[in-house]
Each structure stands twice: as structure tokens, then as C-alpha cells.
Structure 1
């Protein structure tokens, strides 16, 4: 067996999310983190890219990784590999690890080690508590064939630990194109001993210029008179390109002589570029200004936005493999899916992939989608555009339904005809774009409250499962609780019950045990039928 490279070992759960619908439910075990001395101290520290890189490098030293592996009781064949480090203002750290066993990626083996400012270990959050003991050389006869579709990848041997007893398995990525027209990256997990399919999940997550949706906006560009491009050096090199209705490649750079882009209509190809570029910039500013994260991976590096994908493609998607957002032009190529909240939704998938990396299927997939909707709302409220008034609706500008209604409603998700308002035992079997309604509804109840409400002229009427009357704590507190839970407490297999635990832990660290905020988190989860301590 050829040993894996460091990059292969660390990419145990590499995946890609789409805005529109085209399970796994594994509990998370762990202890509540500690080390924060005060509410302010529990907030993420605002780190530069260089500071973040230094933290990751220190945590990824062989000495540090070995010490944590021994303290956690991992076996001799197991190694930890740092994926991300969050540091709070108090100095407490939360190091997210992916795991290998005998050099093989362990899917569902990720964990977060919590330490105080002094370096004392205060807790650990694991995707699974199951011990690993598998024969890594067994059952080569059941190796699947490589799929013939373009973009498919040869099977790789892994340890599947996301559900039940850890098992030696193969992961095969099937390429090609989905029915919607989006690229296909279907990850199929099969038992190495029997050839039986254990699980599958989709990798592609289908989610001054004159813009179509936000009016006259300022965007970051580079170049000089006669030759400007949509490259934002002030935001890590965020770049926007034109696919010209193609479905592959990097796209061609947008260029302009006088640095004035688009005409506010879809007739000018640059207009969609302006919207996408503006959305990427506002999302960058949101995560840096609100959560102290410079760049969606925390490393100060920008991402690519590709517009004009395909022909009449009514969707948008994030793809980890290119670290990029891709946008179709909508029905009749007249309504590009480049509104601010859609851009923020797609870019936020990148934040999830570089932190909790919630598996894009079942309840964890619903939480993945909801995370993008939650942060998209946060971006809207921070941008506070008079042309796109902040609200708790998703995709209201792009008219994807053709009747002026939004794609999703956070106050009562079922108003779209398919999304779930409340959790039940079958939530993990529902498409992730609709099971996301549970967390979206929770976030609305936590931010705004239940019953009839009006925010920025938009009227809402949010019910609760237990008919409770709830008062919100405001989006500013709610978004910080969700970000802290995502980056410090959630793992790849987090389900709704564990999301309750994670957000309660985050709220406790931020605002103190027994605080009004902690009580509001618990009440909001109960309001969507996710109950517990």
C-alpha cells in the first residue's frame, strides 16, 4: 500500500453546496469547553492571516499533535492533523483535528481540543467515541471500479467512522453532471470486506459598479487606466471571472478600461460580475468585522466567483475543489443568482468546509445548509443596503419561483411548501435544503422571537412547536453564538440534538451559565422540537 501524502491525509472529508435542492445522523460526544474568563473573552480574537497561520503551524508541530493524541488515548496507529485553530480573546484555543489510522483518512473521526490560555486541556468534542481497530490490508478484492464519467476519481481506501463501528471502506467519487446541470461529485462509501454501500453524499453543494440587485456599489478591483480586472487585493485577492456559459474551467477575467462596470441589467455580462464580486467582498467584510476571521479559511486568501455558468441554469453552488462560487443566469438568462444573500450563502459554505465540515447529507447536511442561510442573513444586516433591505428571507431578489416569492422563509420555513418547521425522527431522511428549515427557524426565534413581528418593514409570523411565546435576543448575539458553536463545538457528524448542545455551550461561554441568552437558546430549540438538557 502506497503511503498517503500529507495533503491526502489532511483532506479526509474534502467535499463541495447548492442553493436549491437537486442521512446521516451521528451523535457528537464531548465535554463543554472552558477557559473563557468573561463574555468578551469568549469571543473570537481578531487575527491577521499571519497570526492564524502561526497558530496552525504551532498546533501542527509533531510535539503538539503527539501530546494531544496521547492525552486523548488514541492508538499507536492514529495520528492527528490540524485543520483549523480558533483563538478567543481570553487566549483560550480550540484546535480542530482530522484523524488518520495507519495513514488512512478517518471519515467521521474529526475532533476539537479545547485549551485554556495557559495551555491546559479543558475538554474535547469528538465526532465519534468509537475506538478504531481495523485490518487496513483486508479485502482488496472488493475495490470498486473507477466510474467512467468525466471528473470521476479512483477509489481511495479509508476508515469509515461516521456511523456505527469503524469500518475499512472505499470512497469513490463519481463525476459527470447532475440533472440540474451542476457538476456531479457523488461520494460513495462501500464496505471494503463486503462491497456493500454504506453511505453516499453529494460533494457539490448547489447556494463602483452597477449591480442588478444592490444598485450602485463599490467593488475592489486591480490594474490601471485602460486595463482593470475584478481582482480585490484588499480582500485576499477575491477574483470574479466570466464562464461565458461554459461549465468548466476558471473562466476569463472581466476587464474594463475606466473601472466602471456593468449597466445594472443582465444585458451587460459584467453586471452579474459586479453583484458576485460585491457579495464576495461584503461576505469577507462580515466574517472579518463580526467574527474576526480574515478570509473564509482564516488564512487571508481570497476565493473565486465564476458567473454565467451554463445556459438557463437556475442555481448557484460552492465547490471545495476550486475554492470557488459558481452562479447560473436563471430562467431565460435574465435573473443571475448573484444577489447578496445568495453570494453570502455560497461563500459561507467555504467557512463550514474549513471548520466543522458538516457532512452534506442527513441532519448534518441540513445544518450545513442552514449555516449558509444564517450567515447570509448576517451579511445582509451588516451590509444594510437600501436596495436590498436586510431581512430573514432567502433569495427574495432572484425571483426563482417566478412569482415574486423568496426561495426560503426563516420565520416559518414550511411556507415554501417543502421545508421543515420542526424536528422529527425522519428529519435526517429529508433533502438537506428542506431539513435546514429546522435550524433556520431556530435562528429566527432566537434573533427575533415568535408570533407577529415586523423588521425593516417586512412582516413575519413565526409559530412554535410547543405554542410558547418567545422574545429574541437580536441577530448580533445570535450570529455570534452560531459562529462559536460551528467553529469550536460542531464536528462533521453533528446532528440537531448535538447542535442544541453546541449552541448552549457557546452561549454559556459568551454570556454565562443561567444567562438570559442561554435560556433563549434552549427555548428556541424547544420551539422547533429539539429538546433536551
Structure 2
């Protein structure tokens, strides 16, 4: 969605793979790059600029970061040139353990492009309107437009790749989202900003059918082809296609129930036979029922299928793929049934996603209402693509979009109805729309695309031309160069991946595939769509992404990776898998972000024997630290074929801070050396002592700092801002500040880490520090996090309701979406210029043996203030304050001692409890005694060191320090 196609003349990148890359002539818009040395996201981008002569005027803005279950992070970034967005300019950075592993994407060189428009936005807008030539537009109906979050376009100035000869040249253009309602159409129209020519119209509305296809007007032809080859409550719905199903509804104040599931953001409405694109999104009717047992008359019951189908789609995306709705953030699923034909009204034999909502026609001419669950899931699937791969709706990328929509239709039908089993779903799963046409025929087949005149092989029988020679300009008349028909290739690939199959493709290549089942196949498909596809991706690019995903999830020569590659070979995309006798794969090295301790780090190397015949008995493991000398460790043992071996290396002594490790394994006769490297970043941290105050006066108190974004913020030193808002009389000596002599940096997230603490058994621990802050209120903010698993997961410490802690619980929702867009609801924001002590009770963590805290400052790209100053940081216990008082109830002698000492009461104290703690607050010794005179103690088992002796009586507590020599 929202992009277009370019196939040659581009600067394009993708990751390298372990399995064999195609040697055939399929089209790819992605070259592949894999990093075998440590590189950060920013450094990787810089290398791209240098390698392909892209100057420093090219910048990249992060749009989304996803993470898969292996811990791999996938950051999608948009290209800009001199601040102007480059359409389709996208890179996706794949990183693990803070080190980039690979990048795929497409970049464009704007050097020499005229960036000064001749036309004004209004002049260009008139050109776009004249091109569309509609009688009425959605912006003429403000209420309807607002209901779809649409407004009259003002024109975005972009750099658009040249669209006819695919030269990769860029044109300065105005981009307009034109939504016409009479006649209906919606597309992104690009107008040349120099001469007013229409450069391209990218279709936004996506239909279930290709409306020009013969089958739509003659359902009997399908038979011929088949024979030839608020408070929400639970109700019961008698659906048209899926029998009796539980649905969630809303009980209105009228006492009637409506088809509104507020828990899922699923809403189903009556369009009242308004034509597609008309004013029904805002002006609709509700379906109602008196007792929440729904049996709607006539065609109305199709609304029950649309409602249940959207509910099941939402549950699938959340429960199976971990995605909160269409956009991943609860985007509402709004369905409208009884939508009329935009060409003259009457019954509409189609369904569509228009960029915001789903619309369903009542069918006609033998076609039933288009609300079966696979059709509902198909239309919602187009929305999923809009917020993930964002594929161009034309040529190969458009066919992939349609293929994915069918894949989600099949997967969600299987999820909701559970027919067959994971490795062998029933035949209806693979029929698209079988419930809306006579005799359960459907309109496409995933298991046999040829049945409906669609190809099952890339450029095979029934393939619609996608090249400029065969299809010069995408249009409705040519189905945008075959997007619905050519989707059969991806459909058949998914079928083979799930169920397997034996046969020959249209290139006369034999295939023999063992299926991996629906659960695994749909995860692979989704991660490719979400994390690897760029707007102009082709079938080969999809294949390459799928192979990499399968390897990341299951291993190099796993059955899953083999099936993924062979299933694409089965549809004539890429080569068949070829086994290797010996293949050692370096799976991973450790899995922690932070290591606590300077002389206790032992890397754990995970090695897989990905070969098929030869056990591995010896592995040389070479590693460097920060590009230093090579260290070698040799493992001898036995790693059988298909097995994975964890190898612990000898302990390495390290200094505090960020360490960059590069590992390589070497195995005799290794048939594939491309999977033998692994690079990762490790932050090495010291062990902190409870009750030690970090006053930051010397380098001994240095802490680890780092940031995401524009640059490093936290710095130790003397604060010296001229004209500072802070009360400098309260600032003494060295501190940690986000900037010692100026405002903080914008558009970044900066971290200040404490040392590691063992709180196991510590009595009443608390974090204490002095702080002053000057933060742009409700836009930038500071909070504290902690981790107990070496930085793999972080949790916010405390809330604004806790005493002496955060001053704000504001969020975007609580503030009415006017500010605090990124606020987490537990933070400091605004200004307090006087150093003040803050503290938080950590008793909930006193069973944790390795706890790290970090201060996080989050800033936006706009106003910057002076920032944050922190001093006198400590993790204390209740022993540290108020107990070394003047009660003087007893004395200890000798002190120091060898562990044999006496406590002498200065007055009769009666029955008391005696406890001895180490300096970290652990209770090492307890005894109840009667202290009326002198009591002797023999504790020579204690190690030398400083301890705290506490005596607790009926009406007093007194502590004193003792030394064991």
C-alpha cells in the first residue's frame, strides 16, 4: 500500500542466506548483504552511503522496530534526501545482541535532482483532481471523512522513482491521497512538481475479486471450470455460513444488543445499500437484537458472519502472531454489510479494504453475500499488509499482497473452524470463498490454482505478464498487471509448505516436499511479511526472506528450512535444497546484554552440526575483542548430525564497559563457511556494594552510559552551564548529567546504568539518589528501570502513586492526545531545579541476586532543556540510617577481634535478640539471649571484614560496627 514499483536501476540490499540462493532468472529487487563483523545500525547505514556514493544529505528515520521469538530485532527505516521523503526508500536492519546481522531494502540516489518545485501544491492538486475526474470526493462530506480519519489532501512533496522505464531516476512530485465517491476510487496520485504531469496512481482500494474477471458475472462458469479441472456481553449468533457461534456484543441503554465488540475494537454495521465509497462509514444503521440470541432475517444474517469473522481474525492475530489488530496497536476493525454496487447501485458482488474499513456486498447472480470467514480475513489481511510489508499494488508485489491476503484467509479459517489437523487441513481450507458460490466451488484454489486459470508456477501456465513489455501500465482493466491471478504462485507455495506434495512445476522441475504444518508455516510467512518485505519486493525477494526466517527460527538444514526452500522451488522460484556432508553453523554466542563481574565471563558458543553425514569431532573457536588479537579455543568431542552443542570457553578477564566480540568457528571440510561467524556486543559491569555511596568524585564511580538516537548524553563531571536554571549552590563536586554545559540532545533515548547488586537476603533495600531536572514538560521524560536477567528484559520501577518518586502519570490517552505521545504513565517531567533526595523501597527484589537499575531519558525532536543531574547514588538497607545512635545500651570488646568477643550491658536489658549482618545487609547470625551483664560469643567462622551487630530489645534497637580480623 502507499507505494509503487521499480525493478531496475536501484540501489537495493538484502541479507545473505545460508541455504542456496537461486541461480535462475527470477527478478529480485534486493541485493543481499550480511555483516560478519560487528556494526551498529548507524554504522551500517553509513557504509551504505559510502559504498553506493550516496552523500551525507541522505538520512534515515526509524519507523518501527519488531522483535521475533529468537531475539532478533528488525528495524525499518525510511529514506529522506535533504529532508524530502524518498518514496519506497526503505531499509530493514536485522540485529541481535545489539549487533547488525544483515540489512535488506531499497535505496535511491537523488544526487542532482532539482528539489525546487515549479508548481504550487494547489496547482498540483488541481492536476490530480482533473486526472481522477470524479464528480464528488470524500472531503465534501466532512463527517464521513472524519469517521475514516481522512482529510482533504494538501500535497506531500516527495521524491518518486521514475515509473515507466525503471531507470531508478527520481522526480520531485506532489503526492495526493484522492478519495473519490462518485464514481468511487481511491489512490495516491503523484503529480510532477515541475511540469504537472501525472507520474503514477497507486491504488489504495483492494478488492476481493478482480472486478473484470469473467467468473464474477457468470458463476455458472465456475461450475464448468471445476468439472473440467460499552459493556460487552457474550451472545449467540446463528451465522449464515458457520452455524451457531459465540459473539461479543454491546448492551445499549435502550436494552437492545448491537454488533459492537468493544473489547476487540470490532464493530459491524449496516451500510443500508449505500453504494461502495458512499457515505455509510459515518451514516450507518446498527443491527439489533432483544435477547442476544441472534437470528437475523434474509441477507441480514451475513452481518453475523462479518462480526464473527472479524472477532476470529482479531483473536488469531493476537493469540497466534502476538499482534494487536491491523496496525499492531488496536486499529479498529469496522465492517459494513449491505454495500451496494458503485456502478449504478444494486447488488454488489465484491468485498474491499479501502485503507480504513472493510465493505461487503450482498452478492447476487448466484453469489451469496461476501462475508464468509476467509473473505473477512482476506480483507483484513490487506490492512495487515498496509502496516507491514506495505507492498505496491501492482505487478509481482501486488500479487504477493493478494497472495498474503489469501494465506491469512486460509489460516484464519483453519484457526476458527479447526477442520482437519495441523499437517493436513481439510480441503475447504484451501478453497477461497467456497461458501459464497454454488456447490462450494470458491473463486480461487490454493491447492490447485490452475483450476481457476491461475498460475501455480512463476512465469508458468496462466501467468499474467508483469514486465513493462507485457504490461506497460497497471490498470483495473489488466488487474494491475495480474495481481489477483498471479497470487496463485504464493498460494501454492504456502499450500506445499503446510501439507507437502510431489510433482513437477511448469519449468518441468521435480519437487518432493514434506510439509511442516500450518502453525510453523504461518509464522514463517508472517515474519517475512512483517520484517523482510519492502514495497517493491518480488517473488524471489519473498523466497529469500522466507529462507532466512526459517533458518533463524529452526536452523540451517532443519526440515523447516529445507521445506521452505523446496516449496519455493516447487513454484519455480529459486533452487532446490542441496544437502552438505559437513556443515558447521555458529548458532549464537551467549545471550545476555550485560555481564556482571570483571573476571567471571565465560562465553557460551552454540554450534550446530547442519551437515547430513559426518559427525563433528573438533571445532576451532577463534574470537577477538574490539579488533584485538585472535584467541583460539579448540573443542574436541562429538556433535552428531543434526545436533547442537553448547561449548563453554575459559573465563576471560575484562574491563568495565562495552566490549565487541567477533567469533568464527573452523571445522575440517566445512562445506558452507557463510554461517560460521557471529558478532555481538556485551556490556561488562562491576559488582556494586550495598550501602556504598557513589558521589562520582573519581573514576572509581564511573557508570556505563549509552543511548539510542542522536548521540551520547550522560556524562560525569562538574556542571558548568552558564546562566543555568539549576540552583548551583546545591551542586557540589562531580555529578552525572545529560549535558554538563548545555541542553540535552533531542530525538534520543539515553541510559545511565548502575552497577550490579546482589539483593538476596538484604534487609529492606532501597535505591537513593539526589536529582534535579529541567525537562520539556509532557513531551520529554525520565524514568527508572530494572533488570534481573542481565538486560534481556527491563521493567519500570515504581509508579507516580509511590511516595517520593515520579511526579507524573500522564499518557497520551489521559491527556486527550494533545501531548505526552510517548509517555509511559510513570515518569518525571517538567522542572525541579533544586537537588532533592529521591528513594524507592526495593523489598520486592530482595530475593534477586543480580539486579541492575538504569535511568532513561526520552526526548523528542523539538524543544530541548538543560536535562537531568544525578548525584550521591546508593543502594541502602535499613541498617544504614538512624541506628548508630546515642542509646549506648551496651558495648562490645575486644573490637576488632578474631571472632571471640563479648557484649556487656551498660544496664540490665533483659531478653534481647542479637543479629549480625554483613555490609550488604545479609543476616548471618541470630540468637536470643538475656543481657543483664556480659554474654560471650564465639564466631571465629566468620571471614575477616566489617560487620554490623544489632541488638533489639523491648523498647530499643541499637547497632554498632564490629571488625573480624
TM-score range, shorter chain: 0.7 to 0.9
Q: Is the 8 A contact 1:412 1:462 kept in 2?
A: no
RMSD: 3.3
2:318 is the alignment partner of 1:288: yes
1:437 to 476, 479, 488: 488
* Change over 3 Å in CA distance of 1:334–1:525 after alignment to 2: closer
1:450 CA displacement: 2.4
Q: Is the 8 A contact 1:449 1:462 kept in 2?
A: no
2:279 is the alignment partner of 1:300: no
Which residue of structure 2 aligns with residue 394 of structure 1? 432
Deviation by residue 1:44-69 (Cα, 9 ceiling, x = unmatched): xxxxxxxxxxxxxxxxxxxx998886
Q: Give the TM-score normalised by structure 1.
A: 0.78
1:451 CA displacement: 4.5
Indicate the SS of the match to 1:365: helix
Give, in whole Å, the separation in 1 of the partners of 2:524 and 2:270: 37
2:249 is the alignment partner of 1:221: yes
* Change over 3 Å in CA distance of 1:25–1:340 after alignment to 2: farther
Q: Which has the larger radius of gyration?
A: 2
Deviation by residue 1:336-355 (Cα, 9 ceiling, x = unmatched): 10000000000111111101
1:108 to 85, 88, 106: 88
Which structure 2 segments of 5+ residues have no match? 18-39, 139-152, 209-235, 341-345, 472-480, 577-965
2:548 to 477, 497, 505: 505
Give, in whole Å, the separation in 2 of the partners of 1:412 and 1:530: 17
Deviation by residue 1:6-58 (Cα, 9 ceiling, x = unmatched): xxxxxxx6489xxxxxx654688334389xxxxxxxxxxxxxxxxxxxxxxxx
1:233 to 256, 262, 270: 262
Give, in whole Å, the separation in 2 of the partners of 1:431 and 1:226: 50
Q: Is the 8 A contact 1:146 1:172 kept in 2?
A: no
1:297 CA displacement: 1.1
Higher helix share: 1
Once the two structures are superposed, the pairs formed by residues 70-219 of structure 1 within 5 Å of their partners are 73=49, 76-116=56-96, 118-128=97-107, 130=109, 133-140=112-119, 143=124, 144-147=127-130, 148-149=133-134, 150-151=136-137, 156-161=156-161, 163=166, 164-176=168-180, 183-193=184-194, 197-207=198-208, 208-219=236-247
1:353 to 380, 386, 393: 386
Higher relative contact order (CA 8 A, sep 6+): 1
Q: Is the 8 A contact 1:490 1:499 kept in 2?
A: yes
Which residue of structure 1 aligns with residue 449 of structure 2? 413
Give, in whole Å, the separation in 1 of the partners of 2:91 and 2:192: 23
Q: Is the 8 A contact 2:516 2:560 kept in 1?
A: yes
* Change over 3 Å in CA distance of 1:439–1:427 after alignment to 2: farther
Q: Is the 8 A contact 1:145 1:154 kept in 2?
A: no
* Change over 3 Å in CA distance of 1:385–1:209 after alignment to 2: farther
Indicate the SS of the match to 2:510: coil
Deviation by residue 1:459-494 (Cα, 9 ceiling, x = unmatched): xx9988513233222222111111111111111110
Which structure 1 segments of 5+ residues have no match? 1-12, 17-22, 35-63, 453-460
Give, in whole Å, the separation in 1 of the partners of 2:388 and 2:199: 25
Give, in whole Å, the separation in 1 of the partners of 2:505 and 2:287: 43
Q: Is the 8 A contact 2:70 2:553 kept in 1?
A: no
Q: Is the 8 A contact 2:11 2:109 kept in 1?
A: no
Give, in whole Å, the separation in 2 of the partners of 1:132 and 1:366: 32
Q: Is the 8 A contact 2:446 2:491 kept in 1?
A: yes
Higher strand share: 2
1:332 CA displacement: 5.5
* Change over 3 Å in CA distance of 1:76–1:345 after alignment to 2: same
Number of residue pairs aligned between Structure 1 and Structure 2: 465
Deviation by residue 1:400-447 (Cα, 9 ceiling, x = unmatched): xx5642110112212112x22221293454320011111111111221
* Change over 3 Å in CA distance of 1:526–1:65 after alignment to 2: closer
